Structures are given as structure tokens and as C-alpha cells.
Structure 1
Amino acid sequence: MLRFGSPGAPLGTAALDTSAADGRAPARGGRSGDRAERSGDRGGRARAPFASPDGTAAPPLHGPLLTYRQVVGSASVTRPTLLSVDDADRADLESIRALVRLMRTRHDLPVLLALGWRDREEQAAPVEWATRSTLEVLRPRPLSGPGVATVVRRVAGTAVEPGFQAGCLAATGGIPSLVTGLVAGLGELRLPLTGAGLEAASGGDIPVFGTRVRRLLHGQSPVAVRAAQAMAVLGDGTATTTGAGLARVETTAFTRSLRRLEAVGLARASAADTWSLAHPAVRHAVLTGTPSRTRTDLHGRAARLLHDSGAPAADIAGHLLASPAVAREPWARALLREEARTALLHGAAEHAVRLLRSCVPPGREDTCDPVLVMELGIAESRVDAESGIGHLTSVLDRLPGPDLRLTALSALVGALTRTGRTGRAAQLLAAQDTGSPSGRARLQLLEADMLLAATDNREAYTDLLEGVSLRLDLPGTTAEERALLAGRAFIAVSRGERLPQALSAADRVLLSGTPLTDSPVSLAAAAAALAYADRPADAAHVYRQLLEGADAVPDHLRAGLLALDGEAAQRLGRIDLALRSTAQALGSTPGARVTHHQTLALAVRLHALLDRGDVVSADALAGTVPPDAIDDAWQWSEYLAARGRLRLAQDDPVAAVADLTECGRRQELWQRTNPAASPWWYWAGHAHLAAGDPAEAGRLATRAVDLAHSADFPVALGTALELLASAGGERGRLQILEDAESVLAQSGAALSLARTRVARGRALLRAGHVGPARKVLRRGWDESHALGAHALHDEAHGLLLSAGARPRRAASRGAGELTRSEKQVARLAAAGRTNLQIAEALFVTRRTVELHLTSVYRKLGLSGRKELRSALGRPRGGADAAPARRER
């Protein structure tokens, strides 16, 4: 390589290099790229444009230029020569002209002059040569997917999947140096070159890639750097005006800078005049390269900018958390407090604590607004009870007004109770002034809160029940009285004590209370008392009313309502509704992170899947729950009951007995001795039968029969009689099963009735009564088909075949059996209308629409709305042609 000139020489900053060339496109400075545009003669061999653009004759050469021409001439005699200027955009026009004139006299030499420059806001001098007929213009293009694959194969020696190619292109814009940096960075992190590997690294700094992004960025203009930093702070979808305001540049300059960033693969245009950085990894690299003080300042200014433009509070809060000084300004504190209230409403207590903690500096709580400290304590009581108790205690006497003190006291009593300090909670209650009606009402509400909080801690629950009154004779004329009555009624029914008084109290709560005047917690507790007294239909009606007004219900309470709604539906045999409700309650929460409210939904969903006969899905769901997630809450005992039933369905009676026995132990500790509160004993009895222990099964059945008979709980009594018949000998079995069927026929528990009929048909068949067996089995077969209980339907089908019957299709459930109202609702639903739209069109409530649709699904043997169109299009009685067995 021959080098001529230096920084300060007549050629300015241009570096003039000559090197041997073999006729191929030059490779200096990275990939040569595709030819995007060519002009002039495209002849075979490389040549230089030595004519002056203005057509004037070249002046004679003297001094260094003459010497340089001689050197180039000598070198090019033996081999082709490349004359490369890779930063011509920094050279002055006269320097470039002198270089061109230098070679003008030697057209016969194989010399290629290559001028490389970057586009700038003002066109550089070399652009004027782009119009000459002897010049070829090469515009490097980004790599494509195959190009990425080629680079990766050369760098890493391995092929890559299409997912990585797409992700790599998104992260690098196809810029070769960024592609190789990304591959090297993932290698350092020991991550595979896959889409999943790239996604796993996107949240942090990718070593080599991040360095190259920052180097590429800081090679741009200061305006472009500020634009990138503004977009990194604001995030994806940055509006041009907002980004320009944060970067403190004119909108046109901001847009021009973004176009430049887009050209080098760091940014991309989005819809509606918005911009984003190319990839989360690029954003992280830009943020990492931004000085911390600058970053903090940008977040603070972004918060104010977004606030003034009317952006959602959730978008502003994140910036305030990253700028503590701004977060303590009055406008910011007000916004953070409001956003914290919203977070608590949605069950995000940890986020609420972070928001409020930024308003209350540690160690300065005494100088802060006591109401603000109270709000922090309430949020902390959900995630860090000790901190919450400390903050609530410190401000209890400084709060203005009785309502605020009641709010703080309620949260404090709840936190103390949940942590097992019921004695201190009781002292706070005893210290309340009860000389006035308002004082008595506050005490009743606090006691109700304490009862509710105790259901999260078994030891606190046990201690509390030993020391508090469970009087059920309150009239229920105020919301506070109803809240206390509901909690007491729920506990009494769970324990199976004073049932007439408890159910009367629950009825008074639901008769006088409304979702507008009463807490959804107290109304749900009263409804649960009815469900645990074998009145699931009444309970389901209340749950639906509360869910329809769920806008005012916090998300974690809504999950509890959905779980209870699913439980009532499962008890009634409405399998599809149970699955829908529990799916909504669980959402996308993994099994390891379910709340106590969601744990009940998890248990109900397992039961519903097993009712349907979907053992595979039930096993997969149970597999999401690690053993260490199961704590002492009563909801987990219900999960153990459902998992024990699953093990029984998997022909593992030993594991089933273990789970169900542990469930029974926990139920006793929680004093949930009412057989209608949980069916664990029923499945435990069948597990003992499968394990060869009919005596224990008989003991469980006898106890349940006695308790259910004395309490007049028909579902519990009917299922207990069915278990007793299975555990006893042949003598008397048929009569017991007939009694069970008779009891269940009046209960509304359709699935329990169908299960008992199949059991009775099996017993009749075993006793040789083939004709009666066929009749009973056929009814159980029809009912299980209508309910979607596939496993029970298949069992009945097999027994019918054993009885010599040839069942070919399910009982007629055609559209002809629908009522006029059901047909109207079904047609509108099949047309795609929502429940609310149907209700408005027919001038009925959403609850009425839901009841009609449930009846339609049952009569037509459908699993949901998607099947309505084809079902209604069948000829009359067309449902009869449906196969007896569903495809699964």
C-alpha cells in the first residue's frame, strides 16, 4: 500500500491509499453492497473519471502532485491499482478536483478511483461527480435474510433458523457490523442463535452488539444522538412532536435525524407519524450509553411533557419513578397517588408501593402528609405487612376526620389479623367508641374486616373464633350490620352450626343489600353461605349480579367472584360455564404464582375438566403447580381434593388417598366440617374403595349422611347415599341408590343426579335386572351427553352395551325443544351478537340472556356459542343424528 498525504496536507482530511486490486469491487470499510444505481458506460474493466466536471483543461502538475502521479503510474504498470478515499464527505471540493486532475493525463493506466462518502444534511462535494458518464455509483444496501444467514454461517460456523434471521434483521437493520456484533454478543452470553435466544437477551446489554450500537450512534450528528436518546426514554411509538420536544430540536431536524438513524439500522418508522428504535436491544444499548444524569433529566422532562399533552397517567408514572426529584413535585405526587389507587384496584399492590414510596422518602415519613403515609401503609399491608403496620400505626392519631381514621384502622386490623396478631387487633376494636350509632357501625365494619382477614391465616382464624361473638340476630338494616352478618353466616355454615339462623342471616343480607350500597365481599360471602347449604343456583344468581357490575370491583376480588361463580356452575353440572369462569379467573397467571382467590378457581377447573373427561388437560394444569406453592390457606385444601380426584382418574389410588387424606386433615383444622362445603370426602371414599378399603369409605359416607340429613342438604345427602351404597354390600344397595336418586332429583344438581343414575343402573345390571337397568342407564346416558360429561357418558354407553342395548344416538335435543325466547336469543347469538347487544335488542337483562343460552346449550348438546350456527341450521330433530360419542 502506498500512502500519500496526511491530515493537514492539501487534501484536507481525505486519506489517499493505493493498493493492488484484482478487478473486483473494493471491500474496504465492510461489505460492498448491492448496486443500487449506475450511470454511464458499464464497460468491462474498472476505470476512473478523470475529467473535470466543468470541462476545463487541467493545469500543469508541479511538486508533490507530479511526484504522486509518477508513483501511481509506476505501480499501475505491473498491476491494477485502487485509489481509495473512504471519507470524501469530509474533504473539500478542491482537494477532490486536484485528485481527479492528477490522473487525467494517464487514461491508459488501469487505475480505479473510489470515493466513499456518507450522506449528510448538505450534499458533499463528491456528489457532483455522480452525474458523470464515466462514474458508477454504488449504494450499499442492508443484508437480507439470506445475507444474515451467510454472515452467521461464516462467523459462527452454524446455520440459523428463520426466526433468528427475522429477529436479527429487526435488531440490526441488516447492517453487517451490527449483525456480526450481535452474533458475537450472543456467543459471549452463551445463548443459542435462535429466536428464543435473541428474545432472552433483548432485556439486557448484549456485550459486543451494544458497544457497536453506541459507537455507530455517536458517529452521527449531535442532533441524531439526542433524537435516539429521546426515543430510548419515551419508548416505542414515539410521536414526532413529542420526541422533538424532548430532544429540544425542531420537528424537521428531528425527522431528518431519524431518517439518518433509520438508514444506519437504529430506528424504524411506525404508523401515524411515530418512531421507534429498531429493537429492544438497541434501546437498551442507547440507554446504557446515556449518562445517568442525562437519563434522569430526560425522564423528568418526559414526564412533564407527557403530562402537559394529556398522556395517560400510567405512561407518565414510569418516567417519574426514574426521576426522583421531579416525582416529589406537587403535580407529580398527585399523579402518582392516583395511579397507585388504580394499581390497588387492579390488585397490583407491589406497583402501588413503588409509586407511593417515590413520594415518601425513607426516614422522612414524619414530615410527609399523614394521608399520603396512610395510603403507603395500606398498599404495603398487602405485600409487606410489617412495613404497612408500622406506617399505619404512626399516622393513626394524625389523620384528619373519622372516615380516614376508619380506613386506616380497617387496613391495620386486617394486617394484624393476617399476621396472627389477633390480640392486638381485638384491642384496637375494644378501644373504639360505641356510644353513638356511627361508632357502633364502625365497630361492626371493623369486626367484619377482621373476620375476612382471618380467612388468610389458619391460626388467626382459630384464635378469632374462640374469642369473638358469632351472633346472627342482627337485623341487617345497615351496610355495616350486613357485612358482619355475612361473615358470621359464612363461618357458621362452613362449620355446620346453627344452620337455620345462619341461612336466615344470609338471606337477610341478600334481600336488603345491593351492589350499590354494600361491599361485594359481604354479598359474595352471603351467597357462598347459600352455596355451602346446597343452594348453588341462588348463589350463582348473586355472583352474576356482582360480576355484571365488576367495573367497581378490584381485579383480585373479581378473580374470587369468578372462582365462586365457577364453583356454583360446577355444582349445578354446568361444565362449560365453570370452565369459562375459571379460565377468566386464572387468566395467564402461572400455577406457581396464583393468588388464594385464583387457587379456588384452579381447583374448580380441575373438577370441571375431570367432569368433562379431559384427564390430559387436567394433568397438564396440575403440572403447572410446584409443590412449594401449596401453603396453609383453605383454598389449597380444595386444590388437594381436586388433585386427589385426578390421581383417582389416573388409576393411582395410593396417591389419591394421600392427597384426599391431607385435604381432610386441613378441612378439620379450618373447621370446614359441613359436608356440603366441599366434596372432598366423596372422592376420598371412592379412592379408599379403589385402594381396597371399603370400611374407611363407609365411615366417610356414614358421617356425611348423618350431617347432611340433619342439615337437610339434598346434594350432600344424595351423593353420600351413593357413596354409602358403593361401600356397602349388595344387600340394600339398590334401595339406597333409589333413595339417593330421589333426593337428588329435587336438588338441581344435574351432574350428581346423572352420576347416581349410572351407578344405580350398574347395580341393577349386576343384580340381573336388565330391563330396569337399561331404562335407568339410558336416562343417565342422555343426561351426561347433554351436560358434556363425556367420561360419564362413555361409562353409561359401555354399561348399556353390556345390558344388550344398542345406543346409536343421544336423546332428541333439537331446536324444536327450545322455547320461543330461547330461539330468539340463540339466533341472535349465532349471528354474532354479544350478550349485552342481545339484552338490549330484546329488552331483557344480561342475566336472562345467559340463562337462556345455558338452556340452549344443554338442550342442543353444544359446548358453546361457536356451535350455534350449525346447530340451528339443522333440520328439525337434526340433533338426533349427532353421534353419541364426541370427537375429542
Structure 2
Amino acid sequence: MPRKDTFVGRADELAVMGAELDRVRSGQPRVLWLSGPAGIGKTSLVRRLLGDRSDVCVLWGCGEESETGIPFGVLDQLVADVPDRLRGPLLGRGPTADADPLAVGAELLTVLGGLPDSGPVVIVVDDAQWVDDATARALVFVGRRLRRDQVLVVVAARDDTPPESAWWERGLTQDHLLHRVRLGGLAAEDIVELSGAVGGPALTPEAGRRLHDHTGGHPLHTTALLDELPAEALADTSRILPAPRSFAALVLVRVAKLSRAAQDMVVAAAVLGTRSALSDVVALARTPDPLTALDESVRAGLLDEVLTGTAHHVAFPHELVRAAVYADLPPARRHALHRAAAALLGGSAGMDHRVAAAIGPDPALAAELTALGRAEVRSRRWRQAADRFTAAADLSGDPEDRAARLVLAVGAMLAGGELARALRVEPDLRAGPATPGLGHALGQLEALTGRFDMARETLATALHTADGDPGGRAVATAHLALVSLIEGDAGPAAALTTQAMTPEPPPEVAALARFVQILGLAVQGRHGDADEELARRRAGADPAAAEEARALSGILALWADDAGRAAATLGSVGRDGAPPMSVQGRIMVLGHLGDAQYRLGDWDAAAANGALAVSLVRDAGVLLGAGVANALAAHVAAGRGAWDVAEERVATAAMAAELLPWWGARAHAATAQAVLAQARGDHAAMHDALQAYTDPAVHDPVDRIGVLPWRALRVEALLGLGRIDEADGALAELEERVAGRPPSWSAVEAARLRCEITELHAAPTVVRRAYERAMILAEDVPAELGRARLEIAFGRFLLAAGERRPAVDLLRTARARLDRLGARPFLDRCDELLKAAGLHPPTAGGALDLTPQELAVARLVAEGRTNQEAGAALFVTGRTVAFHLSNIYAKLGVSSRRELAAQLHRTGRSAGRS
């Protein structure tokens, strides 16, 4: 399996370290202290940082445990490639063991000053926990005397550095020089990428998360398991993953050295879980002297004692330690211990142990699991329900019972957004006996993966055979409605949803039916009926329906070109104790919220919400939302000139439209392609992208919904191609549609384009009046990009007319807007006009220089949210928020949440501001 130069993830850490290197370029010496456990990837990260920076001079030295007693051993490595002419007497011949470290440090300072000044000097001390004392003292001398030097000292050390080796850390790491980065494990999505990079199996997002949780994201352990386990073992969530063989061997050697009592305690803890109550472990192990056994296990590094208030627990220091012990148990002893654990714990806590202890079919236990799964469904805990139903199916002795429980499992998986997991069950469903609900499950799978002809036939058949099953009829009807909507039959779709919601359908089916009904009404142009239905739901007693109605109201507002109302409504969804929304629903909310913020000019929030929507699409494996989420998330990336990101998202949207060729996916993909071409100034590509709208199957439903931005893009493309008459006609259609609406994004775009067409044939006084009317219109519209482009166009016209002062004022205003947005391609065009006016635009550097993830965290924390609350909003842990927050404080030079909020406000980057 190829391993060389494999590197994935670490985007945030690289951004932080790159920012430190940029500070060094400006004459600010820095010390970057990189810490983490052994094998976590510190060396690879530093090499990645420096690998493609040809202007950087690198001095690299590495500590070695067996050489810590060799004076200046690491320093000799640091200066090995320094030309002899730059070395002083001590460094020239190599410092002797009794050389004064301060004198050696002074010569090293001279070396640093004599190196070529074409770029920064980076001193890397790898495995610093083993650096020799003499080298450490020389480096401390150097570090204390760095002032305006372009020098970055990178120290990579293990977390468990002995105290006696850490003295020089305190000496070198002065607060004004220091930035600490603690390197943790790879993220789940990075593990998915890593598997592909090293030639491993293609992991689903779910399998990546599971492997991440098991290894803590440790690259070496993860790679070992990718090498050792087949793909089916990595995907099977019903089994405990083992530890890597090399790691397990080390653990088992330690276990073997324990007394029998301590071994029994460690084994009992492994059966109970990663963390358990000490009393339960003692009861299961039946150890006569538990404190002595616990003390021995803790001293061996196999267990940790955890005291929290009055609670007394034991835990494994790492999940892999538990996995190694558990996997080594003989089957008979493992089953016996699980039976004993089930009796000890009882209730739902003992259920998993009963399942683990079962051998062969157990109809009674399968029935209990099915009942528990149904209870989880009623509570909308879909993943837990799917796990219960799957376990029940495995324990079913009768093939029909097994098939029926697999159908229930698939329903729960789909309701929870686990499409990839459900698809793995599809072959078993098709191979098993016919059972009630089978057609509904297969029809859902076919509908959600673009097999529309098959889905229509399967669901229609299921509908006719579900007379005695109201829930089954609702499932089949709702998904038939979805297929009809996707295929463009909005009328039948809306009618079918009425049938699906009578009588009371399962909650996940009701949510789908409600969505299809509103979208079906909108596609028919029945906006009043849709608004009335949404108002009725918001006032109803069902909190889930009310929350969905609020979300759909926001989406409809965006389609009606009311970005302000859309952002306010969608931004409030999911707050204030609202019921949980499905993954698919959350994707739609985040994607459209990001698009509303893009139009308003809150591009930082738009980028964060768009990225989150895309990540949820990837995690859930849903195809239906993939095109929409990626297309909407591409707009900000294109506007900021992040070409790689924008191209990837546009390509994903286009691929989704091919795989699932419904009119909505095609429309969103076409618009995203046109927005990317617009940012590049490529009018031909804009026009080509928008050819999708010449198909009535796309054009008609989009027009009935009322979405307008594509029309402005089309006018701009035609105008840029010199097809003036066609542009004029297309603009007249757009103007007719915006005439009956409040001023909006599309109205500002139409006004600018009308001015540019007027310039081609009218007198200057007429053109000026047109621009002045457009400027008055734009004053009432929060559409920062549109307003900036209008100001640029007017400024260009005034420059050509010889009115330099008002032209420059307009261009400066436009530039300030674009700078806040980070709209680099449009900013460059504005700067060209300013240069033509004889001005030199200000250099960049007023932005906060935060990554999108950091900015999202900063804004949430500035709103007053705790780390846990911010993590919940961004679908990350509180620990991840804390990691970002420490980097934010270091970058901005603040030390409190209040200072952070104040700085965001001053720079116009706080929530709701552009």
C-alpha cells in the first residue's frame, strides 16, 4: 500500500502556521511550539508547511533518545548545510563538549544574519523532547535576542515531554514570540480521504466517523487498521473494531504482566465499555481485593481512575487499549461476561450486553429490540432505532421476521439521513422474502437515488397492496408525490401529498409530504395557497410542523427575491428549543440561508453556512440535496476568487444534476456555473451555462416559482457578447417581473444593466439620469455586491465623461464594499479604474485574516454563545470550538470574548453586518 508523502487534512493547523510564517516575513520573529502524541503527524505537518516555499531557508535538526547526552548533537544538524564562510570558529570546527553554549548561540545569531535575505529562515527542532542540553541553551540564547529578524523557530515535541527536558521551553517561548499548536487526530472526513490516498477501501462518511472515534484520528493507528481490515469490517457498525496488531501486541504484553486479579479487572472493564462505574467493574470481575487490582492496572497504564464529585469510574486511556483487550478474549469467556453484565445492569443498559451474549436466533430478544426500536422512532432517534431494528433482524430465526425488521431498519436509516447505510441493506432486502412494507422501502431507495421509473412502478405497486396498512400507504404516497414533483408533475404531486397526510402518517413521512406539498404549490404558481398553508401550520399545535413551516417560509421568501426576510427567518430556524429537523431539512435551510446572506452581503456567514451544508450532504450521502447545497455554496467561493473551491462545488452540482436530472438540480447547477463565469469575466461561459434554461422543463417551473437571478445573469452574458438587441429584450422581461415587487437584488441588477445598455445609444445626460435613478433605487436594497457593481459602472461612466472627483468617490465607496466582502475578482476591476484615475488603491490587510471556520466560531462566540452552543450550531464539539478560539485570540491579539466582539464590530464582520 503506498505511503510516501501521503498527507490529508490539517487545513486549520496549516492556516495558523502559515499565518505565523507570514508574520515572520514582515520582520516579526516567531516561535511555533507544535505538540502532540507520538506518531500524530507533527513532522509531516512541518514538512507540508515548508515543502513548496522555495524562498524559505530551512535549518533542520532532530532529537534522538539515545543521543541526548551528546553536547551540541542537534545543533550540528541545524548548521550542517550552512556554508563554511558563514560559520564562526566554534561552528566552523564543531563546538566541543565543553564549549560555552552562550558563545555558540552568539555565533548562530551571526549565521542567521548572514544567510540570504530573500526570505525567512526557519529553524526546525524535531523530537525536541530529546534535544541535548547544550543545544537547548544555545537556542534559548538565540530566541531571547530575536527582534525584527525574519526567523521562525518551529519546535515539535511530544505531549509527554519529561519535566527535566522542558526547562528550555520556558526560556525560549516568550509570550510576545510564541504561538502554540497542539496537534490532535485527523477529522473523520480526513480519514475518508486518507483511505483513498493510501490505497485503502472507499469509506463512507459513517465508516470514517466510526474509525475516527475508534482511533482518535491517530494517523498511524488509522493507517494500520486500513491496511489490516477488509472494507466490510470497517462498514459493519455491529462489531467492535480491533486495535492495530502492532499496538495490540504491546497492550497484551502489559496485560500479561499483571496479577490475575488485575487482569480480571481490566477484562471486566473492557466488556463493560470505554468508561464504567467502578462498582460495576468490581462486581463483574469478582475481584477479592479491588483496590490493589485497580492500583496495579492504573500503574500499568491500562486503566485510569476518574473521580467526579461522588462518582467513581474507571476508564481506558484510549479506545484502542480497550479494543486490544476485548479482541483477545476467548469467545466463551466473552459471551459469559456479557451475560453477567446484562444481569448486573438490567434494563436498557443491559440490552446491548444481551445482544452481545446471544448465540444464534433469539426470537424473544428480537421482539424486545423491535419494540425498543419503535419507541426510538416515536422519539425521532433514528440512528438508535436503526441499530435496534438491525440487531433484531440478526437475531430473527424466521426469514419473514428478519425481512420485516430490515424494512423497519431501512425506514429509520432513511429518516435519519443515512442513505449510504440503507443502500448497503438493499441487496438483503431484494434477496429476502416479500413482506409488508418491502415495496415502500425499495421505492424510497429508488426515488432517493434517481431511479425514478423503477421508483414509480415499485411505489405504485406498494400502494395497491397496502390497504390494511395506513402507514405503508402514507410512505408510498408521499414518495410517489416526490417522484412526481421531481419529474415536473407539480399538480399530481400536491394532490398526492394530501392523501399521504390522511390519516395521521408517521412523523418522517409527514415531514416529506408537507415539504412536497408546499413546493408543489409554488411550482404551480399558487403562492397565495402556499402562504395560507404555511400560516396554518405555524399556528398549529404540532411544533415540528410549525418549525418546518418557518423554514419553508424563509425559502419561499428567498425565491421571491426578499433576501432580508429569508435570512431573518432561516437564521432563526433550529433555535429556542425547536424540535430537531431531519438532515435533509437542515441542508436545505443552511444552503438557502447562505444564499440569502450572499445576496445581502454577509459573505462570511454565507461561506460558513454553505460549507456546513456541503459537509452535511457528504456525511449523509444524500443525492437529492447535493446539487442544491454545492451550487449555492459555490457563489461566495466564486465571488471571492477561491477558484479551486468554486470549481469543485460547481462540478459536484453539475454531476448531481446528471445523476438526478430533476429541473431544480439542473437550474441550480446552471446558475452556479454562470456565477463562476461571471466572477472570471467570461461572458461566453456564462451564456453557455445558462442554456439549461432554454429547456421548458427547467424554465417553466423556475419561472412559476418566481426565481429571478438567472435572468440578470443572462442579460449580462448577452451584453458582454455584444448581442445588444437580445440583451435588451431579455432585460425588458426581467424589468417586467421585478416591477411588481419591492426593491431587491434583481431590481438593482436590472437597473445597472439598463444603465449599461442606455450608455450604448443615448446622450450622456440621459445616461447620467438613468444612473442617478438606479443609485436612488439601490439605497433601499441591502445587496452589497450589486450596489458595488452599480457604483463601479457609474464611476466608470463619470471618468469617461471627465468628472474625476465624483467618479473617484463612487469607486472608493465600491472598493470599500468589495473589500469587506473579500470579492477579489471584482475588487481587481475596481482597482484598475482607480489606477486609471491616477490613484493607488490601498493594499490589502484590513481583514481579520481568519479562516472560514475560525470566523464562524468567532461570530457565534461574539453573540454570547458558549463553546458547547457554538459547537452544536456548527456540528462540531466544544473542544473543537475551544481550539479555534485559541487561534482566534492569538491572531487578533485579544484575550476575552468581549474584546473579540468589539473587534468584530469595529471591522464590520459581526453577525448581520457586511
Taking structure 2 as the reference length, what is the TM-score of the superposition? Answer: 0.53
**CA 1:498–1:198 in 2, change beyond 3 Å: closer, same or farther?**
closer
**Out of 317, 327, 334, which is 1:288 matched to?**
327
Superimposed CA distance per residue, residues 282-326 of structure 1 (whole angstroms, 9 cap, x where no aligned partner): 433323321233334434544554455x86xxxx67656544459
Partner of 2:702: 672
Using the TM superposition, give the Cα deviation of residue 377 of structure 1 relative to its aligned residue in structure 2, in angstroms: 5.0
Partner of 1:760: 794
* CA distance in structure 2 between the partners assigned to 1:345 and 1:691 by the alignment: 57
**Out of 363, 368, 376, which is 2:409 matched to?**
376
Using the TM superposition, give the Cα deviation of residue 705 of structure 1 relative to its aligned residue in structure 2, in angstroms: 4.5
**Out of 473, 480, 490, which is 2:519 matched to?**
490
User: Within the alignment, does 1:242 sit opposite 2:280 as a pair?
Assistant: yes
Superimposed CA distance per residue, residues 582-622 of structure 1 (whole angstroms, 9 cap, x where no aligned partner): 355456775895764465444433323444x3626845974
**Out of 592, 615, 618, which is 2:642 matched to?**
615
* CA distance in structure 1 between the partners assigned to 2:473 and 2:343 by the alignment: 44
**Out of 250, 260, 265, which is 2:296 matched to?**
260
Partner of 1:230: 268
Partner of 1:536: 563
* CA distance in structure 2 between the partners assigned to 1:689 and 1:339 by the alignment: 60
**CA 1:391–1:778 in 2, change beyond 3 Å: closer, same or farther?**
farther
* CA distance in structure 1 between the partners assigned to 2:868 and 2:270 by the alignment: 42
Partner of 1:395: 436
- Please say if residues 757 and 776 of structure 1, whose CA atoms lie closer than 8 Å, have aligned partners that are also in contact: yes
**What code does the residue aligned with 2:675 have?**
R
User: Within the alignment, does 1:298 sit opposite 2:337 as a pair?
Assistant: yes
**CA 1:190–1:829 in 2, change beyond 3 Å: closer, same or farther?**
closer
- Please say if residues 792 and 811 of structure 2, whose CA atoms lie closer than 8 Å, have aligned partners that are also in contact: yes
- Please say if residues 267 and 275 of structure 1, whose CA atoms lie closer than 8 Å, have aligned partners that are also in contact: yes
Using the TM superposition, give the Cα deviation of residue 356 of structure 1 relative to its aligned residue in structure 2, in angstroms: 0.7
**What code does the residue aligned with 1:395 have?**
P
- Please say if residues 269 and 281 of structure 2, whose CA atoms lie closer than 8 Å, have aligned partners that are also in contact: yes
**CA 1:164–1:777 in 2, change beyond 3 Å: closer, same or farther?**
closer
**CA 1:557–1:800 in 2, change beyond 3 Å: closer, same or farther?**
same
* CA distance in structure 1 between the partners assigned to 2:518 and 2:613 by the alignment: 25
- Please say if residues 590 and 624 of structure 1, whose CA atoms lie closer than 8 Å, have aligned partners that are also in contact: no
* CA distance in structure 2 between the partners assigned to 1:865 and 1:447 by the alignment: 57
**Out of 552, 567, 588, which is 1:525 matched to?**
552
**What code does the residue aligned with 1:543 have?**
L
Partner of 1:353: 386
**Out of 657, 663, 668, which is 1:638 matched to?**
668
Other structure's SS at 2:561 match: coil
**CA 1:748–1:465 in 2, change beyond 3 Å: closer, same or farther?**
same
* CA distance in structure 2 between the partners assigned to 1:561 and 1:269 by the alignment: 44
- Please say if residues 217 and 225 of structure 1, whose CA atoms lie closer than 8 Å, have aligned partners that are also in contact: yes
**CA 1:220–1:508 in 2, change beyond 3 Å: closer, same or farther?**
closer
Other structure's SS at 1:551 match: coil
* CA distance in structure 2 between the partners assigned to 1:293 and 1:626 by the alignment: 52
- Please say if residues 399 and 432 of structure 2, whose CA atoms lie closer than 8 Å, have aligned partners that are also in contact: no
Looking at both structures, which has the greater relative contact order when contacts are Cα pairs under 8 Å and sequence separation is at least 6? 2
- Please say if residues 586 and 602 of structure 1, whose CA atoms lie closer than 8 Å, have aligned partners that are also in contact: yes
Superimposed CA distance per residue, residues 863-888 of structure 1 (whole angstroms, 9 cap, x where no aligned partner): x99997478699xxx96x999xxxx9
- Please say if residues 230 and 247 of structure 1, whose CA atoms lie closer than 8 Å, have aligned partners that are also in contact: yes
- Please say if residues 238 and 274 of structure 1, whose CA atoms lie closer than 8 Å, have aligned partners that are also in contact: yes
* CA distance in structure 1 between the partners assigned to 2:842 and 2:398 by the alignment: 76
**CA 1:508–1:637 in 2, change beyond 3 Å: closer, same or farther?**
same
Partner of 1:575: 603
Using the TM superposition, give the Cα deviation of residue 669 of structure 1 relative to its aligned residue in structure 2, in angstroms: 7.8
Using the TM superposition, give the Cα deviation of residue 532 of structure 1 relative to its aligned residue in structure 2, in angstroms: 0.9
- Please say if residues 609 and 615 of structure 1, whose CA atoms lie closer than 8 Å, have aligned partners that are also in contact: yes
* CA distance in structure 2 between the partners assigned to 1:392 and 1:547 by the alignment: 41
* CA distance in structure 2 between the partners assigned to 1:473 and 1:195 by the alignment: 51
Superimposed CA distance per residue, residues 450-476 of structure 1 (whole angstroms, 9 cap, x where no aligned partner): 444656xx4xx33x44755679999x9
- Please say if residues 472 and 501 of structure 1, whose CA atoms lie closer than 8 Å, have aligned partners that are also in contact: no
Matches within 5 A, 1:79-118: none
Partner of 1:200: 223
Other structure's SS at 2:435 match: helix
Partner of 1:174: none
- Please say if residues 560 and 598 of structure 1, whose CA atoms lie closer than 8 Å, have aligned partners that are also in contact: no
Using the TM superposition, give the Cα deviation of residue 353 of structure 1 relative to its aligned residue in structure 2, in angstroms: 3.3
Taking structure 1 as the reference length, what is the TM-score of the superposition? Answer: 0.55
**CA 1:162–1:493 in 2, change beyond 3 Å: closer, same or farther?**
same
Superimposed CA distance per residue, residues 128-152 of structure 1 (whole angstroms, 9 cap, x where no aligned partner): xxxxxxxxxxxxxxxx9759xxxxx
Superimposed CA distance per residue, residues 821-856 of structure 1 (whole angstroms, 9 cap, x where no aligned partner): xxxxx999979577999xxxxxxxxxxxxxxxxxxx
Comparing 323-332 and 639-648, the one that deviates more: 323-332
Other structure's SS at 1:753 match: helix
**CA 1:834–1:377 in 2, change beyond 3 Å: closer, same or farther?**
closer
* CA distance in structure 1 between the partners assigned to 2:627 and 2:326 by the alignment: 40
Aligned residues: 634
Other structure's SS at 2:573 match: helix
* CA distance in structure 2 between the partners assigned to 1:624 and 1:238 by the alignment: 48
* CA distance in structure 2 between the partners assigned to 1:806 and 1:555 by the alignment: 49
* CA distance in structure 2 between the partners assigned to 1:219 and 1:868 by the alignment: 54
**What code does the residue aligned with 2:274 have?**
D
Partner of 2:543: 516
**What code does the residue aligned with 1:547 have?**
G
* CA distance in structure 2 between the partners assigned to 1:724 and 1:201 by the alignment: 63
* CA distance in structure 1 between the partners assigned to 2:669 and 2:824 by the alignment: 22
* CA distance in structure 2 between the partners assigned to 1:588 and 1:561 by the alignment: 12
Other structure's SS at 1:394 match: coil
**Out of 577, 585, 609, which is 1:557 matched to?**
585
Matches within 5 A, 1:627-776: 631-632=659-660, 634-635=664-665, 638=668, 641-642=671-672, 645-646=675-676, 648-649=678-679, 668=698, 671-673=701-703, 677=707, 679-680=709-710, 682-683=712-713, 701=731, 704-705=734-735, 708=738, 714-723=744-753, 730-732=760-762, 741=775, 744-770=778-804, 773-774=807-808, 776=810
**CA 1:216–1:774 in 2, change beyond 3 Å: closer, same or farther?**
closer
* CA distance in structure 2 between the partners assigned to 1:832 and 1:712 by the alignment: 34
Superimposed CA distance per residue, residues 522-564 of structure 1 (whole angstroms, 9 cap, x where no aligned partner): 5533442232112233334443443224333234423332323
Other structure's SS at 1:395 match: coil
* CA distance in structure 1 between the partners assigned to 2:265 and 2:340 by the alignment: 14
Using the TM superposition, give the Cα deviation of residue 423 of structure 1 relative to its aligned residue in structure 2, in angstroms: 5.5
**CA 1:647–1:395 in 2, change beyond 3 Å: closer, same or farther?**
same
* CA distance in structure 1 between the partners assigned to 2:293 and 2:445 by the alignment: 54
**What code does the residue aligned with 2:519 have?**
F
* CA distance in structure 1 between the partners assigned to 2:690 and 2:519 by the alignment: 23
Comparing 220-229 and 366-375, the one that deviates more: 366-375
Q: CA RMSD in A?
A: 6.2
Using the TM superposition, give the Cα deviation of residue 225 of structure 1 relative to its aligned residue in structure 2, in angstroms: 3.2
- Please say if residues 644 and 657 of structure 1, whose CA atoms lie closer than 8 Å, have aligned partners that are also in contact: yes
**CA 1:260–1:332 in 2, change beyond 3 Å: closer, same or farther?**
farther
Larger-Rg structure: 1
